[in-house]
Amino acid sequence: MENSMRLHNDIPIPGSTRHKLIQAGLNQFSKQYYVDVEVEEIAKEAGVTVGALYHHFKSKGSFYGLIRDDITMRIIDRVEAAVESHSNEKVLSVACTAVFDGVLRTGVGKLFTEPDPRNQHDPIEKFLGDIAKEIGEENPYELGIILLEAIKSAVRQVIHGTSEKEKVRAALQRLL
């Protein structure tokens, strides 16, 4: 499955202002929801001024978008690797489990589960729909939407501490 979401191919130099801001932003957006993150806290954590953040990213929204798009691309890359060697009958289950595991492993549950403030469709939703279409599922894109919402619900249970990861993972696999 070819990933067409190659949005950000510029890798900042480690230690650069841009790199520090991205690391601080990833940390802040992983711990708090978008509306709760203050640009002053990101700049403080990065050891730079708020002006530097706006110089590099123009707005909090575009900064968040870059981070969210990068995380989404990384999750899709993980899923592509996971599904390559599986048969059609298990590919959706493997894909959904890989999304769930990848989100929790990288610690980006809050970022993953909140609605995108840019009001964009989630590329993972389309990606799951593309997989469903490839294996001949009926209404594949509707199925992609439903599967993504199930994964988000499963992630919320874990990050909010209402259920243990392994129990939620097992329930998600059973659903699929």
Which residue in 20, 160, 63, 144 sits closest to 104, CA to CA? Answer: 160
Domains of the chain: 11-58 (1.10.10.60), 70-175 (1.10.357)
What confidence score (pLDDT) does residue 89 get? 81
- Between CA 171 and CA 176 the distance in angstroms is 9
Going residue by residue through the chain, which has 176 residues, state the pLDDT in tens, using 9 for 90 and above: 433 333 344 667 777 898 999 999 999 999 999 999 999 999 999 999 999 999 999 899 999 999 999 999 999 999 999 998 887 888 999 999 999 999 999 999 999 999 988 888 899 999 999 999 999 999 999 999 999 999 999 999 999 998 899 999 999 999 88
| Sequence-separated (6 or more) residues with CB below 8 Å from residue 162 | 156
Which residue in 125, 114, 29, 28 sits closest to 75, CA to CA? Answer: 125
User: Model-level pTM?
Assistant: 0.85
Q: Where are the alpha helices (DSSP H) in the chain?
A: 17-31, 39-46, 50-57, 60-83, 88-106, 109-113, 123-134, 140-159, 165-175
What confidence score (pLDDT) does residue 11 get? 67
What confidence score (pLDDT) does residue 123 get? 95
Q: What DSSP state is assigned to residue 13?
A: P
Phi and psi at 16, nearest 5°, equal -70, 165
